[in-house]
């Protein structure tokens, strides 16, 4: 009796397919092929990719939760309207909140409480980046920053952070696509943990400044370049 040969590849599940489509759409947004305000037509994408509309719809929902798409009743998904000035303003606001939140964690003596959680979150982010699980990595990145803000003890900081959550997630998706090296953003979080371990408020502020500042420069610069190229083509 002939033994049946084990298939070389396992069939893709719907989740895996929707994740791949979400990554394709993210690439299209960051590269400027899909522009702010553009409609993401499920039927057109499904036809082009040779798939049913269901995984395309699921990919749209993933990117909506990540802040890159917005849904409109009876009209479907659209690329979130965001430009370089919006992004720069958001990063500036994040710096104001998160640098002081990080310093407060040190000042209140709460670093030890959260460092194990932060390290576990970084490990999870790194693992997800290696598996190209971008959308799920974005969620863990948000949890990392929220953990710090929450334990700062300033409820106003946390309220503003939660209000900006979807926009912060969108920025994280953009950062990962701007940097060429997978996992670079995830590993950069170790600098923040190292600073918290020193018990030095100034070091904590500087670490968060650097972390968000690198992202700000890369993403805002990328969008300004896209806008300049778009203007030159008009």
User: According to the model, what pLDDT value does residue 88 have?
Assistant: 92
> What is the tens place of the pLDDT at every residue in 118-157?
999 999 999 888 877 777 788 898 899 999 999 999 999 9
User: According to the model, what pLDDT value does residue 219 have?
Assistant: 82
User: Any bridge partners for residue 39, and if so which?
Assistant: 78
User: According to the model, what pLDDT value does residue 234 have?
Assistant: 42
Residue range 100-105: mean pLDDT, rounded? 97
If phi over 0 gives left and psi between -120 and 50 gives alpha, with beta otherwise, what is residue 23?
A: alpha
Q: How far apart are CA 50 and CA 180, in angstroms?
A: 28
Under the banding of pLDDT at 50, 70 and 90, the label for residue 114 is very high
Under the banding of pLDDT at 50, 70 and 90, the label for residue 218 is confident
Q: If we measure between CA atoms, which residue out of 184, 181, 207 comes closest to residue 194? A: 207
> What is the tens place of the pLDDT at every residue in 184-215?
888 889 999 999 999 999 999 999 999 999 88
Read off the pTM.
0.73
User: According to the model, what pLDDT value does residue 136 have?
Assistant: 79
Residue 8 has pLDDT above 60, yes or no: no
- Selected residue with higher pLDDT from 221 and 233: 221
In three-state secondary structure terms, 78 is strand
Residue 182 has pLDDT above 70, yes or no: no
Which sign, positive or negative, has the C-alpha torsion 203, 181, 122, 187? negative
Strands 69-72 and 76-79: antiparallel
The mean predicted confidence, pLDDT, of the chain is: 85
Residue 100 has pLDDT above 70, yes or no: yes
Q: If we measure between CA atoms, which residue out of 220, 141, 218, 135 comes closest to residue 187? A: 141
Under the banding of pLDDT at 50, 70 and 90, the label for residue 60 is very high
Q: Which residues in the chain belong to E strands, given as ranges?
A: 39-40, 69-72, 76-79
Residue 68 has pLDDT above 70, yes or no: yes
Strand arrangement, sheet containing 39-40: 39-40, 76-79, 69-72
Residue 71 has pLDDT above 60, yes or no: yes
Q: If we measure between CA atoms, which residue out of 227, 182, 200 comes closest to residue 88? A: 227
Structure tokens belonging to residue 162: 């939660």
Q: How far apart are CA 85 and CA 201, in angstroms?
A: 30
Structure tokens belonging to residue 83: 């430009």
């Amino acid at each position: 009796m002939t033994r049946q040969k084990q298939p070389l590849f396992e069939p893709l599940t719907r989740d895996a397919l929707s994740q791949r489509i979400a990554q394709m759409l993210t690439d299209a947004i960051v590269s400027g092929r899909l522009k702010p305000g553009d409609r993401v037509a499920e039927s057109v994408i499904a036809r082009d990719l040779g798939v049913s509309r269901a995984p395309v719809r699921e990919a749209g929902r993933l990117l909506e939760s990540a802040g890159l798409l917005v849904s409109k009743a009876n009209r479907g998904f659209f690329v979130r309207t965001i430009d370089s000035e919006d992004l720069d303003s958001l990063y500036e606001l994040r710096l104001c909140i998160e640098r002081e939140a990080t310093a407060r964690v040190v000042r209140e003596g709460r670093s030890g409480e959260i460092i194990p959680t932060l390290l576990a979150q970084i490990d999870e982010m790194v693992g997800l980046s290696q598996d190209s699980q971008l959308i799920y990595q974005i969620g863990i990145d948000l949890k990392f920053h929220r953990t710090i803000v929450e334990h700062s003890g300033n409820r106003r900081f946390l309220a503003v952070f939660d209000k900006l959550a979807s926009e912060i997630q969108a920025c994280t998706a953009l950062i990962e696509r701007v940097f060429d090296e997978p996992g670079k953003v995830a590993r950069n979080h170790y600098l923040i943990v190292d600073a918290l371990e020193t018990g030095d408020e100034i070091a904590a502020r500087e670490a968060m400044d650097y972390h968000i500042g690198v992202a700000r420069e890369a993403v805002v610069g990328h969008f300004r370049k896209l806008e300049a190229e778009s203007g030159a083509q008009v």
